[in-house]
Each structure stands twice: as C-alpha cells, then as structure tokens.
Amino acid sequence: MDTTNSVISSDRVEGTSVYNLAGDKLGSIDDLMIDKVSGKVAYAVMEFGGFLGMGTDRYPIPWNMLKYDTSLDGYRVPIDKNKLDDAPRYPADEIPIYDRTYSTRVDQYYGL
C-alpha cells in the first residue's frame, strides 16, 4: 500500500488488517461510514469473529482511532480484544442507522 499519497481509494482500505497496540490482529476493515455533510470518514467498520465469513460481526470504530502502521501494512488501534466483548456491533445483514444516538453510543464506548 502506497503511504506517500494523502488520499486512498476505499476499496484499498477495505480488507486491510487491524491490530491492537500489542500487534495482535483484531480483524480487518469491512466498510467505511462517511459523513454525508462533511465528506469525511466517520467510522471504519471492522470485521471480527466467525469462521469463513459466517457469524462474523461488524464493529464500528471511530476513524480517528486508527493509525496506519507501514511495518504491519495495517491499522493500529488502542483496543484490546477484551474491549470488543461489549463493543457496539451488528451482523452484516442488520446494518444499524448511523443516527446521532447510535454514533454517540459508539463514540462514548470508546471514550470519545
């Protein structure tokens, strides 16, 4: 992945691995949620759990928590695997409405 450019196509972000600060792989980016007004990415939706795509949950993580790490060719987040136990999540076929209430719930869970 070329990190010299200041923009990247969303299809290049999707599938990128996500690691915690200890270097443990947590999952991979499944989707990006973009604010319609500002045009900025608000959340990266991380895929975690399940087997071969079955029973896999989606975890919205505030975009500003992700930092790209060139040595891992992936993103780092200050989240332990245990923190994901109670994190906001949903199955792929039940995408929630990202309204103010839901966004506030996600942001508060991660201490933002």
107 CB neighbour count, 10 Å cutoff: 17
Map residue 108 onto helix, strand or coil.
helix
CATH of residue 82's domain is: 2.30.30.240
Domain presence at residue 2: no
Within 8 A by CB and 6+ apart from 3, the residues are 68, 70
Does 55 map to a domain?
yes
Dihedral over Cα of 109, 49, 89, 9: its sign: positive
Of the candidates 111, 110, 31, 19, the one whose C-alpha atom is nearest the C-alpha of residue 72 is 19
Looking at the domain assignment, is residue 3 inside a domain? no
Q: Give per-residue burial for 28-51: e unless 16+ CB within 10 Å, then b.
A: bbbbebeeeeeeebbbbbbbbeee
Domain that holds residue 22: 10-109
Residue 52 has a pLDDT of 57
Q: Which residue has the tokens 């994190």?
A: 87
Total tally of structural domains belonging to the chain: 1
Evaluate whether residue 1 is within a structural domain.
Answer: no
Q: Tens-of-pLDDT digits for all 112 residues of the chain?
A: 445 567 777 887 888 999 999 999 999 999 999 988 998 999 999 997 656 556 688 999 999 999 999 899 999 999 988 888 899 999 888 889 999 999 999 999 999 8
